């Protein structure tokens, strides 16, 4: 009985993850743009805005680092 319940829970979890992944890919860039416009309307010291700004800065830094690494690998080859 416990094994059957575990399998049902596992199947539900897998289904939920698959559905969330599908929904995430459908809304990707558009959702980011809408969030950005909403966050820009908030005060700068509002905690969700601060978190969003930090996430945006991290994303920009990551893109910049990836570009540098790609340039280095192109030079080395």
pLDDT exceeds cutoff 80 at 72: yes
Residues 6+ apart with CB under 8 A from 48: 39, 42
- What is the rounded average pLDDT of the residues 55-70? 93
Q: Which residue has the higher pLDDT, 56 or 10?
A: 56
Burial degree of 35 (CB within 10 A; 0-12, 13-18, 19+) = middle
- What is the rounded average pLDDT of the residues 49-57? 85
The pTM of the full predicted model, rounded to 2 decimals, is 0.45
Give a three-class secondary structure readout of the chain: CHHHHHHHHHHHHHHHHHHHHHHHHHHHHHHHHHHHHHHHCCCCCCHHHHHHHHHHHHHHHHHHHHHHHHHHHHHHC
């Amino acid at each position: 009985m416990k094994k059957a319940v575990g399998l049902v829970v596992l199947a539900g979890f897998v289904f939920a993850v698959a559905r969330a992944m599908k929904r995430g890919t459908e809304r990707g860039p558009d959702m980011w743009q809408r969030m950005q416009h909403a966050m820009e309307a908030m005060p700068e010291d509002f905690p969700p805005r601060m978190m969003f700004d930090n996430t945006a800065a991290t994303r920009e830094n990551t893109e910049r680092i990836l570009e540098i690494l790609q340039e280095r690998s192109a030079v080395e080859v």
